[in-house]
């Protein structure tokens, strides 16, 4: 018996500079051969094997042969280049065909050396899931394949291809509406400050839900979702870029939340078990993480959960140096009484500041007040790719937004200096508050900001769910949201 992990297929991209790990399940010794190198692995007690081949430079096409006894399989058109994981929730999942420029990109999208693999969204591992998984495969970019791929992954992949000139593989693993606790193991979640409480609350909530009841409720829910999506897709096809408000006006609010049950897809540790573990330890240079919207109502300790995710994914993919780019959430007009987006943004920044090999992509200027899913993904994709290029290859400035560096008392108020000079101001400064009130400010010749609020005890910029980004550097990068407290002297 030989069952090679589904992530190995024709047209796959393997990570250059890392050992090539070929894994799956078998009942005897497994031999793997690639570009004149061979490796033999014996399965463990659980039947899993992992054959390790030497690291390679970018190139191809090659053939990868894997055999066990009389069984064997050969994969064709295998390239070696740069592999990037793309994880998170709906804004990472957002399809290219729904992007603002999606129709044009889909029509002209053709690059045989930019390839995508999308992990199926699955709630549990069973025979039906395994059958669906066997149909997945790596797909080179082409008009008939790219419409349903992640738009952020697409734009990032195009940027990486242009900058590096090597094959690029985007490995997409995301589910809309997931909280971060879905993407780490239950054991890891239990090792976070409020993890045990989260696990206990979930287990208590589903304790009396039978498989039959959940199956029935889930089927009814999925039917409602399909009906809603059919209406939305038809409207988007007729009018690309259609505002979300018009879709809601006709289709109603998206059906939410889904029913709860022990095997609900969005359970703690669920996608970790059914999706992430299915592709580990595939070699990857970096992870682009776009998630946090679903945690905005319980932002406390989000930083601990995000830090745990980074460490667990690095361990699972056997790459302790994996570069990680976190998308800082954009603006969105959610209910501030129940959701705290500034707290999520602060947590995302804190983790990127303290965990080596991480970078933050500020998207505070990329949101849509009326739509949780902004339909312009080119800038987020490009910024995240630039951050990876900076982290992994030292290229460019990494699209790292300027941040508040120093606050000094001045005759007319407070002088704010930033890590890079600011560009001339455009429009008002409604998102800049001094002691909770709008503050007047002027730009100095040196690119600092003089806030005319003598004695102010607290300054905030873009520190709300739906701020207006109005501070940028000369490269057009938005200033990171900030909160400053001092004595005003």
Q: What confidence score (pLDDT) does residue 489 get?
A: 42
Task: Report the predicted TM-score, pTM, of the whole model to 2 decimal places.
Answer: 0.96
Of 452, 408, 456, the closest CA to residue 435 belongs to: 456
Cβ-based neighbours of 291, under 8 Å, separated by 6 or more: 87, 88, 89, 92, 174, 178, 180, 183, 327
Burial class of residue 226 in the structure, from the number of CB atoms within 10 Å of its CB (0-12 exposed, 13-18 middle, 19+ buried): exposed
Q: What confidence score (pLDDT) does residue 487 get?
A: 60
Q: What confidence score (pLDDT) does residue 241 get?
A: 73
Q: What confidence score (pLDDT) does residue 151 get?
A: 98
Q: What is the mean pLDDT of each run of 10 residues along the chain (489 residues)?
A: 97 98 98 98 97 98 97 98 98 95 92 98 96 98 96 98 98 97 98 97 96 94 94 88 86 93 95 98 98 96 98 98 98 94 98 98 96 95 97 89 96 95 87 94 95 94 96 95 79
Query: Looking at the DSSP assignment, which residues form a beta bridge with residue 442?
Result: 450
Question: How many C-beta atoms lie closer than 10 Å to residue 393's C-beta?
Answer: 15
Distance CA(345)–CA(454), nearest Å, equals 28
Element (H, E) at 90: helix 90-93
Instruction: Give Cα 435 distance to the centre of its chain.
Output: 35
Of 241, 374, 355, 339, the closest CA to residue 305 belongs to: 355
Spell out the domain ranges in the chain.
404-485
Q: What confidence score (pLDDT) does residue 237 get?
A: 84
Distance CA(382)–CA(380), nearest Å, equals 6
């Amino acid at each position: 018996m030989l069952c090679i992990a589904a992530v190995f297929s024709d047209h796959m991209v393997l990570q250059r500079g890392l050992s090539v790990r070929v894994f799956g399940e078998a009942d005897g010794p497994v031999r793997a051969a690639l570009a004149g190198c061979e490796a033999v692995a014996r399965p463990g007690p659980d039947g899993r094997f992992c054959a390790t081949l030497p690291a390679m430079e970018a190139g191809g096409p090659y053939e990868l042969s894997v055999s066990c006894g009389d069984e064997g399989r050969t994969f064709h058109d295998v390239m070696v280049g740069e592999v990037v994981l793309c994880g998170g929730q709906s804004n990472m999942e957002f399809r290219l065909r729904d992007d603002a420029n999606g129709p044009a990109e889909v029509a002209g999208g053709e690059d045989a050396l930019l390839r995508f693999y999308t992990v199926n969204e699955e709630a549990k591992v069973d025979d039906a899931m395994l059958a669906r998984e066997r149909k997945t495969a790596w797909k080179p970019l082409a008009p008939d394949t790219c419409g349903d791929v992640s738009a952020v992954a697409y734009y990032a992949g195009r940027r990486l291809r242009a900058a590096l000139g090597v094959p690029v593989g985007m490995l997409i693993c995301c589910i809309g509406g997931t909280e971060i606790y879905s993407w780490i193991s239950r054991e890891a979640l239990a090792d976070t400050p409020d993890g045990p409480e989260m696990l206990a609350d979930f287990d208590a909530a589903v304790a009396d839900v039978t498989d039959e009841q959940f199956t029935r409720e889930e089927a009814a829910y999925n039917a409602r979702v399909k009906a809603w999506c059919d209406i939305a897709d038809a409207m988007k096809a007729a009018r690309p870029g259609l505002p979300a408000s018009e879709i809601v006006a006709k289709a109603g609010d998206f059906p939410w939340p889904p029913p709860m049950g022990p095997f609900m897809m969005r359970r703690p540790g669920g996608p970790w078990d059914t999706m992430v573990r299915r592709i580990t330890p595939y070699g990857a240079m970096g992870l682009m993480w776009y998630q946090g919207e679903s945690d905005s109502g319980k932002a406390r300790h989000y930083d601990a959960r995000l830090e745990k995710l980074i460490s667990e994914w690095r361990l699972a993919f056997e790459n302790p140096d994996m570069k990680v780019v976190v998308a800082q959430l954009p603006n969105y007009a959610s209910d501030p009484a129940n959701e705290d987006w500034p707290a999520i943004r602060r947590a995302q920044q804190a983790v990127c500041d303290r965990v080596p090999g991480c970078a933050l992509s500020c998207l505070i200027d990329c949101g849509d007040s009326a739509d949780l899913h902004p339909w312009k993904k080119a800038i987020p994709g490009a910024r995240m790719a630039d951050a990876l290029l900076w982290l992994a290859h030292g290229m460019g400035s990494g699209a790292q937004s300027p941040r508040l560096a120093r606050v000094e008392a001045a005759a007319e108020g407070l002088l704010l200096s930033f890590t890079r000079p600011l560009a001339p101001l455009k429009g008002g400064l409604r998102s800049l508050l001094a002691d909770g009130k709008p503050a007047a400010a002027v730009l100095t010749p040196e690119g600092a900001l003089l806030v005319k609020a003598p004695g102010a005890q607290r300054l905030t910029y873009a520190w709300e769910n739906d701020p207006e980004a109005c501070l940028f550097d000369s490269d057009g990068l938005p200033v990171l949201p900030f909160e400053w407290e001092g004595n005003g002297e």
